[in-house]
């Protein structure tokens, strides 16, 4: 598993925790940073996970607006928590990280949805991210 795949899982976990627990994202990131500092083998994935989470926080309104507009029939509040967190992190990659090809960002999101969410989530995530990618001109 690549360092970026591990980083995406870590970012997903942090975004999910903040959402479900209703905690500030900064507090979750700080706790994860302390864990990463104590485990050198986790540092490789930590830096990119932090970049994702910071990017989602910086662009949250834009990302949420796009997700809401392309998730036909679903409000953000009605989506499964994992799907919402996954869409946020992957939308950030599609929109704001030119180092990651759009197809890779979407494929990784679909795989994470298959692993961590409902049976229908992979198709849902793929569809929403595909529309966001078209919006971005990717």
pTM (predicted TM-score):
0.92
Whether 87 and 109 have beta carbons less than 8 Å apart is answered as: yes
CB atoms within 10 A of CB 129: 27
- Taking alpha carbons only, the member of 59, 41, 45 closest to residue 14 is 45
Gyration radius of the chain's alpha carbons? 14
Task: Tell me which residue range forms the domain holding 9.
Answer: 3-136
pLDDT per residue as tens digits for the range 7-64: 999 999 999 999 999 999 999 999 888 888 877 777 778 889 999 999 999 999 999 9
CATH number for the domain spanning 92: value is 1.10.940.10
- Count structural domains, the chain: 1
């Amino acid at each position: 598993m690549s360092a970026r795949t591990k980083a995406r899982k870590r970012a997903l976990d942090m975004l999910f925790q903040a959402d479900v627990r209703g905690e500030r994202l900064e507090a979750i990131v700080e706790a994860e940073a302390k864990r990463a500092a104590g485990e050198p083998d986790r540092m490789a994935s930590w830096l990119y996970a932090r970049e994702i989470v910071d990017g989602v926080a910086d662009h949250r309104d834009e990302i949420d607006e796009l997700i809401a507009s392309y998730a036909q029939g679903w409000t953000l509040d009605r989506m499964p928590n994992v799907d919402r967190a996954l869409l946020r992190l992957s939308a950030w990659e599609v929109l704001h990280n030119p180092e990651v090809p759009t197809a890779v960002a979407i494929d990784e999101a679909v795989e994470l949805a298959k692993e961590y969410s409902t049976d229908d989530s992979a198709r849902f995530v793929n569809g929403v991210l595909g529309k966001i990618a078209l919006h971005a001109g990717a």
